[in-house]
Structure 1
Amino acid sequence: MMVLQVFFIAVVAIQFCSVRSLDDDMQELINNLHNTCVGEIGVDEALITNAQKGEFADDDKLKCYSKCLLDQMAIADENGIVDPDAALAILPSDMQSEAGPAVRKCTTMRGSTPCDTVFIMMKCWYKESPKTYFLP
């Protein structure tokens, strides 16, 4: 679980702190998480790229890719319910206060399936706090 927390922090740093280079180990962790979920779900890479920019396609595979990522980071349960404290705890401290209101608001939302629940939360998070949103 600690490796995933370190990974998550690195992803956030990359996305939001303009880190331009990664060491090989960190890049491998990022690639492994992404590849695991893409391989498991079979989502189209273009849908992921668009979602990283806030363009969320209503696609079941993209929804389940989002859930897979949060499952891998151990912050979502089998029902797709995200623990807001766990999500915030693995963010860098300087992002926690900015992300906190969005994460707390968005983790209360529920969908019709576990994948839908995570997807709704991710879309809400992007809408409420695009600077702190992530999707590797």
Structure 2
Amino acid sequence: MVARVLSVVVLVCCLQAVFVSAGKRPDFVTDEMMEIVRPDKEKCMAEHGTTEDLIDEVNDGHLQDNRAITCYMHCLFEAFSLIDDDGELEVEMLVGFIPEEFKAVAEDLIEHCAHLKGTDPCNTMFVMAKCVQDKRPDLWFMV
């Protein structure tokens, strides 16, 4: 259970609300945390043909509506139970795991971006992620 909670915290922080420069892993995301996320990351990468190069491009600010990335993001959100059975973002759960120092910023991003819809679940992840990246590029990092 502790590993799952840590994984969710890392995923939430890395995907939506951490103060980092583009492409750089935040200091508080430790190697141990990345190791916890690794099995789900590898599974989602394999399922959707995602490469580290594609992830690096996104972290450098070049998010495109590429299913290898957007479906990868959706897969990670599913793996960490941040999407309900109807495909809706579990906003309350997401907010509950965000560190206190990031809550105000995260709540603003969630208010503006979390309820946006795309043409399918993967495109919805793109639309939400693009909103976050456009609104606060300084807060973007993807595992």
Q: TM-score, normalised by structure 1?
A: 0.81
Q: Give the structure 1 partner of residue 23 of structure 2.
A: none
- Offset of residue 20 of structure 1: 6.8
Task: Identify the residue that residue 86 of structure 1 maps to in structure 2.
Answer: 93
**Equivalent residue, structure 2, for 1:123:** 130
Task: Check conservation: 2:70, 2:122, Cα contact below 8 A.
Answer: yes
Range with bigger deviation, 74-83 or 103-112:
74-83
**Secondary structure at 2:115's aligned position in 1?**
coil
| Distance (whole Å) between structure 2 residues aligned to residue 107 and residue 53 of structure 1 | 22
Between the aligned partners of 2:29 and 2:106, the Cα distance in structure 1 is 24
Q: Distance in 1 between the 2:28 and 2:94 partners?
A: 24
Are residues 78 and 126 of structure 1, via their aligned partners in 2, closer, same or farther at CA, if it must alter by over 3 Å? farther
Q: Partners of 1:109 and 1:21 in 2: how far apart?
A: 28
Matches within 5 A, 1:1-136: 3-10=3-10, 12=13, 16=19, 18-19=26-27, 22=30, 24=32, 26-136=33-143
- Which consecutive residues of structure 1, in runs of 5 or more, have no partner in the other structure? none
**Does the CA contact (< 8 Å) of 2:65 and 2:126 recur in 1?**
no
Indicate the RMSD between aligned Cα atoms, in angstroms: 2.5
| AA partner of residue 72 (structure 2) | Y
- Extract unaligned runs of 5+ from structure 2: 21-25
1:79, CA displacement in angstroms? 5.0
Distance verdict in 2 for CA 1:85–1:61, change over 3 Å: same
Paired residues in the alignment total 134
Secondary structure of 1:95's match?
Answer: helix
Contact 2:10–2:29 (Cα < 8 Å) also in 1: no
Normalised by the length of structure 2, the TM-score is 0.78
| Identity between Structure 1 and Structure 2 (%) | 24
Contact 1:4 1:72 in 2 (8 A): no
Does 1 or 2 have the higher relative contact order (CA < 8 Å, sep 6+)? 2
